[in-house]
Amino acid sequence: MATDKQRGDEEDASRVALLHADVRKEERQVAAVGTGDLGRRVWEESRKLWVIVAPAIFSRVVTYSMNVITQAFAGHLGDLELAAISIANTVVVGFNFGLMLGMASALETLCGQAFGARKFHMMGVYMQRSWLVLLMCAVVLLPMYFFAEEVLLLTGQPPELSAMAGRVSVWFIPLHLSFAFLFPLQRFLQCQMKNMVNAVVSAAALAIHVLVSWLFVARFRFGLVGIALTLNFSWWATAAMLFAYVSCGGCPETWHGFSVEAFAGMWEFVKLSSASGVMLCLENWYYRILILLTGNLKNAAIAVDALSICMTINGWEMMIPLAFFAGTGVRVANELGAGNGRAARFATIVSSVTSLVIGLFFWVLIMGLHDKFAFIFTSSSVVLDAVDHLSVLLAFTVLLNSIQPVLSGVAVGSGWQSMVAYVNIGCYYLIGIPLGILLGWLFNLGVLGIWAGMIGGTAVQTLILAIITVRCDWEKEAIIASTRMDKLSQVR
């Protein structure tokens, strides 16, 4: 019996040893396949990323172009009219645009994670909650439009300009209210990979905008009111087309009509939306402050002209990193919602490297054409020289902006908005702006010093976000995403 028992133990030990050997062999095969298959994984992730990024770039360029077209029509009315539209768009509408766009980005976290977790019915509920929250925010912000003249006078704008901008700001209220409806729709579609819908509707909206602008301004001569009406009409037309697509069967899995569930879990939703709004509007306002600071320099006319040219170039190129911001946020949220922490990490790496390569290309382009690209906007030798001096800062701003939005996208996809809001306050407003003022005025470097200081703030913020991302426990983030989904899915 003992001999049989020993023989059985030996056979068991042998089987265990063989089992361990098979496991080790399988692990080596998996490792080998993983190493050899890296190119395919990068290709697959890049394909998923560009499905989001390519239409997002197009949509953002179209939206940017609508504002350029509006300013072009305003410019034919007169210098004061152009200045009034520009200042109303930048200060009044721009302030609210940045805040509400940021608040809508909470949907990139929630809808992205719900899509990854295959909780499709909750995506429509989240969008309705976002409508409610953004509509309440829009109503709270309405006094800024009614008292725009007083606000502009406080910022040091001339009385005549402030009065005209104040009058036209009231006509922008329908545009302001459209943000509450349109932004959630765009993110709702984006998170379920229906990005071509956003792109096609944006193209249609641009065509409508050109036609309506010509009718209201050139044909019917409605003046500044006509210009405001064109933007109102175009933005609401965009929202109507997207809602028609969603409600008429375009999203059968994610839109089941209006639901009372939209009123449940509102406090958690408000907190995330508020954190998202603060996080992104702090970034949106940062470089607007650069222009305001430059306007207070002595003999600022040339500096403002040169800086405006650089900011226009930066604005066009920025559409690419902002598209990567959207793509990264969706991809990270999708993978975390599906419980794939490692896949979220891989998506972050692929997106960061891709955006950085594009940023390096534009960095080389600007450095190579540093004394030529301003000819697109001006023939003044003084302004051309000023732009030439600022071109190095423009190049490094473009390079930094190729990484910073991607890391912000990771934060949105992971739901880190509250933490990043504090990082932005510290880096932008406690480091960047004071450093810019110090270099610009105390060291007499003018706009060069102001911009350099603010780039320093962006660099510190990018470094902190990079450290947070590298040290992230992705598996833990996947668990947090699952917990968040459960909490927000509860009906109270």
pTM of the complete model = 0.82
pLDDT attached to residue 188: 95
Number of alpha carbons in the 13 Å side-chain half-sphere of residue 406: 27
Rounded to the nearest integer, the mean pLDDT of the chain is: 84
Domain presence at residue 323: yes
* Residue where a domain stops, chosen among 214, 235, 263: 263
Flag whether pLDDT at 296 surpasses 70: no
**Burial of 192 per CB tally in 10 Å (0-12, 13-18, 19+):** buried
Query: Do 173 and 292 lie in a common domain?
Result: no
Query: Do 284 and 232 lie in a common domain?
Result: no
Q: What residue numbers bound the domain in which 120 lies? A: 47-263
Flag whether pLDDT at 173 surpasses 90: yes
Domain presence at residue 285: yes
Better-scored residue on pLDDT, 134 or 314: 134
pLDDT attached to residue 15: 41
Task: Look at 112-116, 255-259, 376-380 and tell me which has the smallest mean pLDDT.
Answer: 376-380
Which distant-in-sequence residues (6+ apart) come within 8 Å of 118 by Cβ?
A: 338
Domain presence at residue 299: yes
pLDDT attached to residue 17: 43
Q: What's the whole-number mean pLDDT along residues 405-412?
A: 92
Query: Do 215 and 280 lie in a common domain?
Result: no
pLDDT attached to residue 491: 46
Tokens of 375: 């000819």
Q: What's the whole-number mean pLDDT along residues 123-143?
A: 94
For the segment 191-204, what is each residue's pLDDT rounded down to a tens digit? Answer: 998 989 999 999 99
Which residue's structure tokens are 């770039």?
57
pLDDT attached to residue 179: 94
Query: Do 258 and 289 lie in a common domain?
Result: no
CA–CA distance, 346 with 302 (Å, rounded to integer): 46
Q: What's the whole-number mean pLDDT along residues 245-267?
A: 89
Q: What's the whole-number mean pLDDT along residues 418-432?
A: 90
CA–CA distance, 11 with 1 (Å, rounded to integer): 15
pLDDT attached to residue 295: 61
Task: Look at 17-26, 33-42, 263-272, 438-447 and tell me which has the smallest mean pLDDT.
Answer: 17-26
CA–CA distance, 418 with 470 (Å, rounded to integer): 18
Domain presence at residue 21: no
pLDDT attached to residue 291: 66
For the segment 201-222, what is each residue's pLDDT rounded down to a tens digit? Answer: 999 999 999 999 999 888 888 8
Which distant-in-sequence residues (6+ apart) come within 8 Å of 178 by Cβ?
A: 232, 235, 236, 238, 239
Q: What's the whole-number mean pLDDT along residues 351-372?
A: 93
Better-scored residue on pLDDT, 31 or 182: 182
Query: Do 471 and 400 lie in a common domain?
Result: yes
**How far is CA 479 from each of CA 49, 272, 330, 408, 410, rounded to the nearest angstrom?**
23, 18, 17, 21, 16
Helix (H), strand (E), coil (C) string for the chain: CHHHHHHHHHHHHHHHHHHHHHHHHHHHHHHHHHHHCHHHHHHHHHHHHHHHHHHHHHHHHHHHHHHHHHHHHHHCCCHHHHHHHHHHHHHHHHHHHHHHHHHHCHHHHHHHHHHHCCCHHHHHHHHHHHHHHHHHHHHHHCHHHHCHHHHHHHCCCCHHHHHHHHHHHHCCHHHHHHHHHHHHHHHHHHCCCCHHHHHHHHHHHHHHHHHHHHHHHHHCCCHHHHHHHHHHHHHHHHHHHHHHHHHHHHCCCCCCCCCHHHHCCHHHHHHHHHHHHHHHHHHHHHHHHHHHHHCCCCCHHHHHHHHHHHHHHHHHHHHHHHHHHHHHHHHHHHHHHCCCHHHHHHHHHHHHHHHHHHHHHHHHHHHHCCCCHHHHCCCCHHHHHHHHHHHHHHHHHHHHHCCHHHHHHHHHHHCCHHHHHHHHHHHHHHHHHHHHHHHHHHCCCHHHHHHHHHHHHHHHHHHHHHHHHHCCCHHHHHHHHHHHHHHHHCCC
Taking alpha carbons only, the member of 195, 193, 29 closest to residue 116 is 193
Flag whether pLDDT at 408 surpasses 70: yes
Instruction: Count how many domains the chain has.
Output: 2
Task: Report the percentage of the chain scoring pLDDT > 70.
Answer: 88
Under 8 Å between Cβ of 350 and 42: yes
pLDDT attached to residue 389: 87
Task: Look at 83-87, 181-185, 435-439, 460-464 and tell me which has the smallest mean pLDDT.
Answer: 83-87
Flag whether pLDDT at 240 surpasses 90: yes
Query: Do 213 and 286 lie in a common domain?
Result: no
pLDDT attached to residue 490: 59
Query: Do 52 and 84 lie in a common domain?
Result: yes
For residue 135, what pLDDT band results from cuts at 50, 70 and 90? very high
Task: Look at 84-98, 128-142, 157-171, 384-398 and tell me which has the smallest mean pLDDT.
Answer: 84-98
Flag whether pLDDT at 12 surpasses 70: no
Better-scored residue on pLDDT, 35 or 386: 386
Domain presence at residue 15: no
pLDDT attached to residue 96: 86
Better-scored residue on pLDDT, 218 or 253: 253
Q: What's the whole-number mean pLDDT along residues 85-110?
A: 83
Query: Do 242 and 368 lie in a common domain?
Result: no
Q: What's the whole-number mean pLDDT along residues 107-129?
A: 91
* Residue where a domain stops, chosen among 217, 236, 263: 263
pLDDT attached to residue 380: 77
Query: Do 326 and 376 lie in a common domain?
Result: yes
Tokens of 451: 């911009």
Domain presence at residue 40: no
pLDDT attached to residue 142: 94
Domain presence at residue 180: yes
pLDDT attached to residue 488: 66
Query: Do 207 and 151 lie in a common domain?
Result: yes
CA–CA distance, 192 with 190 (Å, rounded to integer): 5
Flag whether pLDDT at 31 surpasses 60: no
For the segment 393-406, what is each residue's pLDDT rounded down to a tens digit? Answer: 999 999 999 999 99
* Residue where a domain stops, chosen among 263, 296, 327: 263
Is the sign of the CA dihedral 59, 64, 68, 74 positive or negative?
positive
Query: Do 59 and 109 lie in a common domain?
Result: yes
Neighbour count for residue 43 (Cβ, 10 Å): 11
Domain presence at residue 246: yes
For residue 34, what pLDDT band results from cuts at 50, 70 and 90? very low
Query: Do 252 and 302 lie in a common domain?
Result: no
CA–CA distance, 146 with 441 (Å, rounded to integer): 35
